[in-house]
Each structure stands twice: as C-alpha cells, then as structure tokens.
Chain A
C-alpha cells in the first residue's frame, strides 16, 4: 500500500510503533522531503503518486494556458480561417506579414478609443468603487450585535454569486426604458428615461453595476484585517483619552493600510482588464463608441469580423502591456514590504 515511501527502512518502522510522531520526523517525513541526498530516480519512485495527482491539472494548464501562447503567431500573419477546418493547419499555411497587423492597430482610431474607454473606466472604478468596500467594512466592523453583522454580511455577499447576465437584467428592470424607475416617472407625469442605453452615462452605469455586484464581497479582506487588530490597542488608546474617531484614525486605519495599499497596487496592475463580460453584454445597447474596451475590441474584430490576425495583434499588445503592469505592480508591492501575488 505504501509504495511511495521507498526510502524508509523496515527497522525504523518497527521502532516507530510506539512513538509515531517523533520518528515520523526522524525518517525525513513529508514536511521536508529530503532532496539533496536521494537520487532522482528514488525521488521519482517515492513521489510518483504525488506527481500523478498533479498531472491532470498540469496537462490542463499546459493545453489551455501555455499552448495558446504559441497561437499568438497569427498576430504576425494574414490569417485565413478558410484554408482548413482546423485552426492549427490554417495557421501553418497562412502567409506571414510581419508587423503589418500591429501597424494597422496603431493607426486605427477605434483602437485608441477603446484604450481611452478602458482607462476612463479604470479610473472611475478606482475613484468610485474602490473606497466603498473599505467604508462598508469599517461600518460593519463597528456594529457590535453579532446577528446584525451576520445578516448584513449575508445580504451584501449575495450579488457576488450572481451571473453578469442576471445583474444586468436586474438593472434593466430598474433603470431600463420599461423599468420601474421609468414606470414611476411616467405615473407622475414625467418622461420615462432609459439609463441602460445612454452612451453618456454608460461608464457610470458600469461602475454602479460593479458596486452592486461586488462591493459587499470586497469587504471580506478588510474585515479579516480588522478582526486581527488587538482589542488591547483600543483599550489603551481609550485609557489615554482617545475618543471614538481618534481610535479609528490612529488604530483602525493604520491596521488597514497594508491591505489597502496591496489591493490598490494589484488593481493598477490589472488596469487594462475592466469587466469584459459585463461590457460585452451591453455593447449592443449603447454602441461601441462608449462601450468598446480593449477586450471587446479584440472580440469584435476577431470573433465577429473574423479578422483574426488583426484581433490577435491587438490582444497581444494588451497582453504584453498588462503583463508589464502586473509585474511592475508586484514589484511595487514587494518594495512596500508586501507579498504581492507571488513570493519573492
């Protein structure tokens, strides 16, 4: 049964009967599998079950995360999907065009509009969305009745688990042309209004939807940070005469600072990715002028217009810049003494 425990000798197992814990360590247990002394073959035999366990996930990641990277060569091709039914065969037979696709992308005003929309949306979300979970967390943290806390958290978490399709449908029922708001306005003699199709306010609509869906979920990390603050600090501050607000300013907020900084940095790293599904679902209603972001630009040109080389070029530009941003953001996180997404 225990094929995977090759290096362990029988005699040791015998003596371990009585004190399994101590000897488990002594025989070089799981905690730190010895790597230096044991030969590769032995390690392979010992760990083959573990390797076999990771295999399915590794294969999936290789196939769907790493192999497609090679597919980015279509960005340098005049890719013709009609050469063959199989995309890879088409890829091999499509003519090379060098950086022509990239030149076209950079000269395309629609691309720059998409860049602008993406950045505007990012900043709107940063200013209007980001502070809300922090404020909500502070509020909930100051509620002492456990029942009230639990109930409000349960309600605030809920929309995070709704699909974007549902969230947008709900918004349409509230603010759409036939929605409850228009309905009320008309009943009182005003014109109905349709916020859902107004390009001028579209970016605020998107932000409002994000707030509705995820602000409650965003409080989790902050609440966790707050719950780890020692009550002694508050007591000491109160003894020294600090009032409610001073305690918040000098104890609560400093406790949140590292988390806020980290999330802020990570968000900046993710700046070029704003709500793809959410925006794609509403793109038709307001038109690409207001709704096109980089991701939907790629989708439109590639999937809809079948201009694969062009779309792949735009996607590659976005991907490379994004990677740079994420790496830079992590660097900054490290400089601030935080862990970032990965350890150094």
Chain B
C-alpha cells in the first residue's frame, strides 16, 4: 500500500526536489533563479566549446564557409572528415598507436599497482614500513627533467614505446588509494580464506579484487586517461614522426596548423575543410574519455578520499 502512495503513477518527475525538512525555509524565487543561472552558465561554459568542436567536425565544407569558420548550429551533417582521417594515413596510425599504448600501459600499470598495493596492505609484513616510506618519499621530490632524460636515453629506450610506458608507469598516489581500499576489506573474510588454504595470490584475485571493483575502475580510468593524454614523453623520446601518438599529431595539426600527411592535397583542392579535419581529430581525442568517465564518476569521491586520508 505504502509503495503505491509513495509512487504516484504520474507524479512529479524525478527532477523534483526531495521533501524539505519542516525547519528549512522555502527558498526565495530569486535565490533559486540565481543558483540555476550560475550552474547553467558553468555547465554551458564547459559544454558549449565542445559542442562547437563536435558540430564543426560534422559539417560540410559549404556549411563551414557560410558560417565563416566554426559552426554553432548543425546543418547538413556529414562524416567526410572522419572518413578521410580513418581511411589510413597519419591520423589513423596515430590513433591505433595511442589505443595500443593506452591498453598495454594501463594493463601494466594496474598489474604492478594492484600487486604492490596488496603487498603493502598487510600491515606488519616484513619491510612493509620501509617500502611504504620509500614510495611516499617520491611524492616530495622529483629527480629533475634532465637526469631522467639522460637515464632513459642511457637505458636505450629512446625511439621505443617503452619510453612512453616505463618511466611514468606507476603513480604512488594511485597505489595509496588502492592500498587504502584493500585495507578496508573485512579482515575476517581474508582470514577465513587463508584458513581454507588460500595463499596471498588467490586471496588477492578471488576475494580482494572482486570486492574492490569500484576503486579498481577509478584507478584504471586514471591510468588510462594518463596514457591517452600523454604527449610530453613522446616529444622527448621519439624522433620518428611515424611513431607519434594521437596527442602529438594533434599538436602539429591544431597548434601549428599543419595538415595531416596525405590529406593536405584534399584540403588544398577544396574537397575537404581543413577546419573540419582539425575538429574531427579533437573529437577523436576527447571521445573515449568523455564516454568512459561518466560511468566511473560516482566512485570518484570515495576513491579520492581513501587516497587523501590514508597513507
């Protein structure tokens, strides 16, 4: 019965506010409007530029010419720019490279971080305190750009994708977040598994990790975004233009206004809008992140707090 009362068939939408406690005064109209305005403006400030980029990337050359540049209102949607970019050539290759680096790098980072976080989450194990201290200390200093550069070069990693993965493979902060979460898992559960004969590896794989899905998702996203967004190491350690990941190609394209190799001719002869091509590359760079992060976002708060408080 109560359920029926609580959920009227055509009641207020789910956007309606929850019931107000009796002591709280009704908000003033002006206050509500002001709040809504500021929030809307803030959200529009983020959304509007992205909208322009997306719409322009989907516009035909004619629409772009008529608008005199960037397009705000979609008209005559076309996927020409994407088709050209993805039909082989520099941008296609760079995208594949970026995807592969992100996949391999994230997998590697997660494996190393999860193992380390679990190893350090068993308080009182041998050397646990020292290892933790050594990791924590790196949050206070960095060796500096030049010595790191010379080291990577001495290791022979120049012109190798390992240079994009190994030096920045783990983040101590992420390890601390994972460790904090692992330490919060019910001790009784782990003990009973141990008594049933499970070793540390099995406990981690079959008990700790399944219980930590939320934080694992958050940290995976953090690492993946890190690899996907990285450009500096590539600019530092890669000399071969053909090896460059997507972000570095985007720098040349958007900042230095160079047409991607192979498409320059099509743009010059007017078949393709150079602007649409630029925007399409930007959309390709933002798409994976924009699609993935909302799924993980409800766990952000928990993850950030575990990391910020423990340690």
Please list the residues of chain A having a beta carbon within 8 angstroms of any beta carbon in chain B: 1-5, 13, 16-17, 20-21, 23-25, 29-35, 40, 43-44, 46-47, 49-54, 56-58, 60-61, 63-72, 74, 86-89, 91, 136, 139-140, 142-148, 151-159, 161-166, 168-174, 178-180, 183, 186-187, 212, 216, 220-221, 223-224, 231, 234-235, 238-239, 243-244, 277, 280-281, 285, 295, 298-299, 302-303, 308, 311-312, 315-316, 318-319, 322-323, 326-327, 339, 341-343
Which residues of the partner chain A approach B127 to less than 8 Å between Cβ atoms?
A: 47, 51
State in angstroms the CA–CA spacing of A303 and B145 once bound together: 9
Known contacts: A5-B194, A156-B43, A163-B229. The answer to whether A173 contacts B52 by CB under 8 A is yes
Are A54's CB and B143's CB within 8 A? no
Which residues of the partner chain B approach A231 to less than 8 Å between Cβ atoms?
A: 21
Shortest beta-carbon distance from B298 to chain A in Å: 8
State in angstroms the CA–CA spacing of A173 and B166 once bound together: 34
In the complex, per-residue mask of B224-239: 1 if CB is within 8 Å of any chain A CB, else 0: 0100111110001000
Are B15's CB and A152's CB within 8 A? no
Which residues of B (271-311) have their CB < 8 Å from a CB of A? 278-279, 282, 285-286, 289-290, 293-294, 297, 300-301, 304-305, 308-309, 311
Are A139's CB and B116's CB within 8 A? no
State in angstroms the CA–CA spacing of A326 and B137 once bound together: 11
Are A298's CB and B70's CB within 8 A? no
Q: Is the interface of B mostly helix, strand, loop or mixed?
A: helix
Q: B83: CB under 8 A from chain A?
A: no
Known contacts: A16-B195, A162-B229, A220-B301. The answer to whether A51 contacts B126 by CB under 8 A is yes
Which residues of the partner chain A approach B200 to less than 8 Å between Cβ atoms?
A: 4, 49-50, 53
Q: B172: CB under 8 A from chain A?
A: yes
In the complex, per-residue mask of B139-161: 1 if CB is within 8 Å of any chain A CB, else 0: 11111111111110110000000
Q: B46: CB under 8 A from chain A?
A: yes
Closest 7 CB pairs of A and B: A71-B147, A24-B191, A33-B124, A163-B229, A68-B143, A57-B116, A53-B119
Shortest beta-carbon distance from B23 to chain A in Å: 4
Are B285's CB and A315's CB within 8 A? no
In the complex, per-residue mask of B31-70: 1 if CB is within 8 Å of any chain A CB, else 0: 0000100110011011101101100000000000000111
Are A312's CB and B39's CB within 8 A? no
Are A56's CB and B116's CB within 8 A? yes
Q: B118: CB under 8 A from chain A?
A: yes
Most central of B14, B125, B147, B190 by chain A CB within 10 Å: B147
Which residues of the partner chain A approach B43 to less than 8 Å between Cβ atoms?
A: 151-152, 155-156
In the complex, per-residue mask of B10-27: 1 if CB is within 8 Å of any chain A CB, else 0: 000011111011011100
Are B140's CB and A326's CB within 8 A? yes
Shortest beta-carbon distance from B125 to chain A in Å: 4
State in angstroms the CA–CA spacing of A161 and B49 once bound together: 15
Are B112's CB and A60's CB within 8 A? yes
State in angstroms the CA–CA spacing of A245 and B168 once bound together: 47
Known contacts: A29-B187, A302-B149. The answer to whether A319 contacts B144 by CB under 8 A is yes
State in angstroms the CA–CA spacing of A87 and B251 once bound together: 29
Q: B134: CB under 8 A from chain A?
A: yes
